[in-house]
Structure 1
Amino acid sequence: MNILNEAYRDLTFIAERNAGNYQQAHPFPYIYFDNFFDESFLNTVLSEFPDLRTVNASSYNSPTELKLASKGEGQFSPSAKQLAYFLNSEPFLKFLNTLTGINETLLPDPYFQGGGYHEIKKGGYLKIHADFNKHQATQLDRRINVLVYLNKDWMPEYGGDFELWDESMQKKEVGIAPLFNRMAIFSTTSLSYHGHPDALNCPDDRSRKSFALYYYTNGRPENETIAFKDMHGTIFKDRKGVEADKSMKRFTAFACVLKNVMPPFIFNGIRRIFIKD
């Protein structure tokens, strides 16, 4: 079975044609493609999407995120493995290098740290944030996120747009609906603020599903490392003037550091203290 839509099978051509738009995008480099994958193939990926409540998935429940995510490749279905292997393959890595203008050799993450299946149920969210900047095991620098959305017949009133915000957190610059067979790509730095900050308003029997892949390099340009030379976790930011985001302030600044150095049961106990109203 073909993985790519026929219109996108010449990856070099697609990357060269879209490189300028990607690299000059605001508030930071990004792009999205519709119908990038063969529809029959992606239908299979969706049909095999597991109930993340019944497998050994990560469950996030805090003022900053309410979502589910898989842990590693072991939970991937056969078609999801095909998708992951393609997105981590040499042709796709070269496509990303050309599209993004990143000069360093891109490397995939065979451990899928933070990647794989993502799901947000009704009422869930992922507050605006910048991603962790280094891979926990390899210490490589995180450079690119690729998100493949798996939501058929998605209505605007459900919410769930992928939002890109300016560095001052004054306003949303871009909103991208998480539509089926839409692939979003963006460059990750310690100032590339993005997320899905408002509670999802879909029907009870629906959810916001996606498949995420992250890419790394050994080192990054100096202008991207000056402010955040050391390893950091996810940096959550409150939107200016949004009351619902203010509960993050008491614990977010140090939680990103503590989460990487403390056993989970200790970290979660401290988190509960500081998010208490």
Structure 2
Amino acid sequence: MQFKTKTRDNEIWPDFDCISAPLLDETRRFYEGAQPFPHLVFDDVFSPEPLLNIDAAYESVEPGSWHTHSGPLQSKRRTRHDSPLPPIAQSYFNMLSSGPFIRFLAAVTGIAHLVPDPALHGGGMHEVREGGHFQVHVDFKNSPVTGLQNRLVVITYLNEGWTEADGGSLELWDPASNTCTKSIVPTFGRMVIMKQFEGALHGHPMPVQAGKCRRALIAYFYTNGEGARAADTTLATQYLIRSEMRMSQKAEILLRPLLPPVVIKSIKSLVRSGR
């Protein structure tokens, strides 16, 4: 949906406190009625210039600030939690953690007392290069550090001129039928707000095409209500087994709950090395 916002003088990010109550109510109805589960897709919320500057700043991220995922189920990299970010990217995430944006999220989702994560566990600056993918999954239920319950994810895409043919579209899957019912092209400036719960199946299983690089800014939001628990590093991403998957992908999904993470990591290394 189109959602025009205003920017205060000398500010680069929108003022989310200026949005009218009727528009917030209408947006919440969209969120609650969205299929296959609650989510929102916005275009043109942000001015292009700061997002273009963030896109350019990917090249200045220090090599040690990247964490790379390379295996049968996902192939991408993201900035490490608590790593230093380019100032313009840090400015974006500071805005997401601000009171006005938190109040906006509560108004359009109905989730009160949301807690941002300035450390950006699992979030930050994400990049998927050609051939990269992320199989259909449900995100972690709780923060691995605080134990707070994962309730929302906010994604903003940075990909100019992106089309469905470029791959990497965000797929939302119906948990009842295990089928994709919505595909969201990760085009420049598009912001997605998505509910996090055990039925929120999503991913981008279609590989990014040659010569393309898919970039996104991702942040999670939590609550300390029912469902919160002590920090548990085993509360990881849960993947959906699909018939078209390779045997190595299916094997990793089946083995993940049974083997310690260090063993899974060793198996991935052996697969990559061809041994």
TM-score by length of 1: 0.84
The offset of 1:3, in angstroms, is 3.2
The offset of 1:53, in angstroms, is 8.5
Structure 1 residues 82-122: Cα deviation after superposition (integer angstroms, max 9, x where no partner)? 1000001111111111111124x100012211110000000
Q: 1:130-209 counterparts in 2 under 5 A?
A: 130-168=138-176, 170-203=178-211, 206-209=212-215
**Structure 1 stretches lacking a partner, 5+ long:** none
Structure 1 Cα separation of the partners of residues 160 and 222 of structure 2: 30
- Classify 1:20/1:245 alpha carbon distance in 2 versus 1 (closer, same or farther; 3 Å): farther
1:77 aligns with 2:86: yes
More deviation, 72-81/146-155: 72-81
The answer for the alignment partner of 1:40 in structure 2 is 49
**Structure 2 stretches lacking a partner, 5+ long:** 1-9
Aligned length: 262
- Classify 1:219/1:248 alpha carbon distance in 2 versus 1 (closer, same or farther; 3 Å): farther
The offset of 1:10, in angstroms, is 2.4
Partners of 2:157 and 2:217 within 8 A in 1: yes
1:218 to 208, 221, 224: 224
The answer for the alignment partner of 2:33 in structure 1 is 24
AA at the equivalent of 1:68: R
- Classify 1:12/1:216 alpha carbon distance in 2 versus 1 (closer, same or farther; 3 Å): farther
Partner-residue secondary structure (3-state), 1:144: strand
- Classify 1:256/1:214 alpha carbon distance in 2 versus 1 (closer, same or farther; 3 Å): farther
Structure 1 residues 126-150: Cα deviation after superposition (integer angstroms, max 9, x where no partner)? 0000001000110000000000100
1:118 aligns with 2:119: no
Identity of aligned residues (%): 28
The offset of 1:41, in angstroms, is 1.7
Structure 2 Cα separation of the partners of residues 256 and 57 of structure 1: 26
The answer for the alignment partner of 2:70 in structure 1 is 61
TM-score by length of 2: 0.85
Structure 1 residues 169-196: Cα deviation after superposition (integer angstroms, max 9, x where no partner)? 5321110110111100100112210010
- Classify 1:109/1:238 alpha carbon distance in 2 versus 1 (closer, same or farther; 3 Å): same
Aligned Cα RMSD in Å? 2.8
Structure 1 Cα separation of the partners of residues 193 and 73 of structure 2: 22
Partners of 1:11 and 1:92 within 8 A in 2: no
The answer for the alignment partner of 1:235 in structure 2 is 238
Partner-residue secondary structure (3-state), 1:48: helix
Partner-residue secondary structure (3-state), 2:256: helix
Partner-residue secondary structure (3-state), 2:248: helix
AA at the equivalent of 2:266: G
- Classify 1:272/1:169 alpha carbon distance in 2 versus 1 (closer, same or farther; 3 Å): farther
